[in-house]
Structure 1
């Protein structure tokens, strides 16, 4: 008993010592480095602190919507709903990964990373005047992990407990101290009002405007067609440094359109104000109009310093035909990027070589000593090629003739047990190599058709199936597809979301982004190591090692990317001269009345805001 008391006393002293050393801060960084903006800063460098308030920002949405609850897996949530809510911290788009206090005026992280404590701002309140309390934070976390989208359970899997210590202090305890990202991503939780949601079914879709504490509230809903947000004039946080110079529009109105082509015509007709363009063809030719020529519409490309991740044609590994790596590699060889880029994209794109493209985390050349240290324990579990030069997709001459690639693809398929019989590629059992490519966007079909022709030349039958947005979403969630176009975005500090992308624990979770169905212990180990990285360099090393294994696995047909944001807007929208390093900062823009056209708040083109389809453009 005395020994037990000594152990308990030692543990208590250690805990008290740890708590004593944890000093509340105005900001958190991933590895404890100083944030760019010191305590007491007045505003971010990328804002105009004197930007005028007023006017309407008219935006376009696609896919329609049938829910105002973005936190659950059901339904298709409306755009811009994050404007309703405040999070504990504000993510700085001017730094790789720094969180500044918002609802939490101070953040306290244990030196050993065993907990994080948020001290809530006593001024914080919801739109109905009710104070934001620690109970709301506990309620939000519990509700999201128990009733919310299944991704939350994985994302916050390392949280052992959340405790409301008093009305304005809430503490998250961790299962272990190896997840350095966890305190920061917990700060990003958008806080829900307990008193409002306790009277409603959280796990059901609804079009009732929800209560929040953020800079805007929903004031008008036209199901599937439009949403109207109005600025909260007495928003409790409007004078905080993280908010100054932002959220300048009095009204934000979103109209929904049938597809990107219809939306572009509506934009040129002045029906909305800002368009982020995804189509190289439309960017090159689609904006020509009197308004562009006389300067009323402005086109500009803003450098994107973020990792662009991976866009590719994704294989569903749950399908037996795609479980052989040689088959996947063979099919990937038949995508002719150079011809596609020249003929369809006006040479606008670069070929994707990495799952962390456009960043220092992308694997290049031979693995260095640090990467080999991570990879050697996995030898025999990963392809041998991982230990040599990183995989690079073949390069064609853009003529449309890919004999060498087709010859290699045929060789790989033969090695995998396939042969050509009656002009069909069949396996040893005589079953044809045939599959379906599912899309929900008309623009993508022109990119897939040349790929389909190259496959057909080897006797491979790929059928393109276009479905509506709701069916596409349901089929993705139920993993009912053979191949589709998919994008896995990345941040400058990848972490817990990698579990959602590649880890075995998420493969059978219908709400995860492990669409591939990856279940590989070697990849699991690299993902866990990346999440637990204890320095920026260690994070880079783990990302590069993971990248090598993923790219040599041939799990996708790598597509292409662009390293800028292609933006078109009407000239009455003004922005600061310098955007944030990692965003185009739309909420820092403002309305210039002197150049504004005479239009209604949000007049949709006749018949143009029909229910929209899923759209990823051609990048």
Structure 2
């Protein structure tokens, strides 16, 4: 979430002031389009049908910025929506998206883009350079109530320049190496026509009461799907723009996003959702727990081949996560308490005994998979009640109460609540709770409904929070540990931890041009965070593991290095390469009525297993 102030000349240009002459493109630009990367969708794909899935809680908002916007549903609104360019999921080369061509300036700050002339919003309006210049107007406005975006788009993006309706440039505030310059320049457009204000007392181009006015007004989409039908609290449907969607003029979009509609039903209990799936009311189901992959799939629908199983590995960078410790809460500001909590949290036992070895311990609290940015020397603290007790005693908790929980001289119990968002996690938290007692530490369970849980955490009400965050290919630290974000609501500094040394390194990291130095700063930052024991590293799943009815079809192979899900799921990070075969759907339902069986199918793809 990112934001900033100040309205320099280029913002006036973004608003289309008539007295400013059009900018001229520099001569000698070397335009590229990169149309030669391998395709990863199947030409056999068919268009049509409705995909049925579910979410466990209705979103707090359809905005993607501002209060309550950073919940799980946000990915449904953003992940299939194009930016200027995108990464190929296997080669990681830049490939065209909304921009059909791009060129780098010779100043190490500027990237130029030419928009695909067919590109349109889902409401039929053309996508133009104005929708990219408007990004700065939007993200810098105080009316969106998103300080992170305000700061980022003021401090990190210097300018967005329009040359004509289909040509624009993004100028970084600082010189950047080629590896990361595009990451900063690669903007998602924002539909300027949709956000034209009816009331604008601040004269900043944004609706004064933006947060309330747009709370449940989904914006038009540049991608294949847009929010269509909404039944508040019950369901949300996405509708495909149609087979004439502009994206299909891009060869990398061909044979993708094949279903005509996606219907998402709110089902608050995962086990009830699984029952809906096995009745054929949902088309796929995420098999994230050992029981779901094993015992829960030993049913006739799987054995008779009506439902298929899939397990495919990926190589996706993993973000920060595990148990986040809120240092603004009583006792948790003490290093010995935090170190004791880390040593009393038996994640290794949880992985082996509860999760049956299906997942991997995350060694680094800030995540892994970022190449030389990752500090490989950091290891997760092993479970050691004895060492945890030593730290607790140093912090003054030398006595053990009749219930086995440690107390200090003031009578304070060594007890902290773990906030988490989904009921299926309860056995995992319960295991950690039982093991922690061996060190005289009490974990209490604070289960809060999905989207409400993240709101609770963003408002910094938690003591401990059990969750993980997604990540970009180049890790970010400012949002998590810069002092300006500590002790303030609605940002990602979940630990409320910062130090002058972290501030210095974070700012140096953000502005460093030399890649070797930048990566060295990243490793230093990670080391300081690990030493502070403010995040107890959790676990990670480097794979997609799903069940699906046999009428859903997938490419062969189905996985790319970057595939998180085969189908739209709890989060919608899929590449839209599946399709529905209506003839197989009729065949399957007829077979179920007549008692006809098919061969059971379990697919395992290990090409990207590390």
State the TM bucket, normalised to the shorter chain: 0.7 to 0.9
Query: Is 2:571 aligned against 1:581?
Result: no
Q: Distance in 1 between matches of 2:315 and 2:434?
A: 36
Query: Is 2:560 aligned against 1:560?
Result: no
Q: C-alpha offsets along residues 425-474 of structure 1, whole Å, 9 cap, x if unaligned?
A: 33454433332222232222222223223434444343322233454233
Give the RMSD, CA atoms, in angstroms.
3.0
Q: C-alpha offsets along residues 301-359 of structure 1, whole Å, 9 cap, x if unaligned?
A: 11121122343111001124122222111112112234323332223222221233356
| Distance change (3 Å), C-alpha of 1:111 and 1:518 | farther
Deviation at 1:174, TM superposition (A): 2.6
Q: Distance in 2 between matches of 1:116 and 1:551?
A: 36
Deviation at 1:116, TM superposition (A): 2.3
Deviation at 1:574, TM superposition (A): 1.3
Query: Is 2:131 aligned against 1:152?
Result: no
Q: Distance in 1 between matches of 2:435 and 2:44?
A: 57
| 1:201-350 → structure 2 map (5 Å cutoff) | 201=207, 202-204=210-212, 205-233=214-242, 234-350=244-360
Q: Is the 8 A contact 2:457 2:465 kept in 1?
A: no
| Distance change (3 Å), C-alpha of 1:181 and 1:439 | same
Query: Is 2:88 aligned against 1:92?
Result: yes
Q: Distance in 2 between matches of 1:62 and 1:525?
A: 41
Q: Distance in 2 between matches of 1:524 and 1:78?
A: 29
Query: Is 2:52 aligned against 1:63?
Result: no
The farther-off stretch of 194-203 and 243-252 is 194-203
Q: Distance in 2 between matches of 1:321 and 1:597?
A: 61
| 1:186-585 → structure 2 map (5 Å cutoff) | 186=184, 188-199=186-197, 201=207, 202-204=210-212, 205-233=214-242, 234-354=244-364, 355-357=366-368, 360-361=371-372, 362-365=374-377, 390-394=378-382, 405-420=384-399, 422-423=401-402, 424-427=405-408, 429-491=410-472, 493-495=473-475, 497-532=476-511, 534=513, 540-578=519-557, 579-583=559-563, 584=566, 585=574
Q: Distance in 1 between matches of 2:187 and 2:297?
A: 38
Q: Is the 8 A contact 2:481 2:502 kept in 1?
A: yes
Deviation at 1:587, TM superposition (A): 0.3
Deviation at 1:292, TM superposition (A): 0.8
Q: Distance in 2 between matches of 1:452 and 1:392?
A: 19
Q: Distance in 2 between matches of 1:294 and 1:539?
A: 55
Q: Is the 8 A contact 1:306 1:359 kept in 2?
A: no
| Distance change (3 Å), C-alpha of 1:125 and 1:187 | farther
Q: Is the 8 A contact 1:226 1:256 kept in 2?
A: yes
Flag structure 2 segments of 5+ consecutive residues without an equivalent.
Answer: 1-22, 199-206, 567-573, 590-610
SS at match of 2:42: coil
Q: Distance in 2 between matches of 1:358 and 1:185?
A: 17
Query: Matched residue pairs, number?
Result: 536
Q: Is the 8 A contact 1:22 1:108 kept in 2?
A: yes
User: What is the TM-score when the length of structure 2 is the normalising length?
Assistant: 0.80
Q: Distance in 2 between matches of 1:513 and 1:277?
A: 28
Flag structure 1 segments of 5+ consecutive residues without an equivalent.
Answer: 1-15, 27-38, 366-389, 396-404, 601-619
SS at match of 2:169: strand
The farther-off stretch of 226-235 and 72-81 is 72-81
Aligned to 1:402: none
Q: Is the 8 A contact 1:57 1:251 kept in 2?
A: yes
SS at match of 1:317: coil
Q: C-alpha offsets along residues 388-422 of structure 1, whole Å, 9 cap, x if unaligned?
A: xx444226xxxxxxxxx222111112223332164
Q: Distance in 1 between matches of 2:179 and 2:148?
A: 16
Q: Is the 8 A contact 1:308 1:358 kept in 2?
A: yes
Deviation at 1:182, TM superposition (A): 5.8
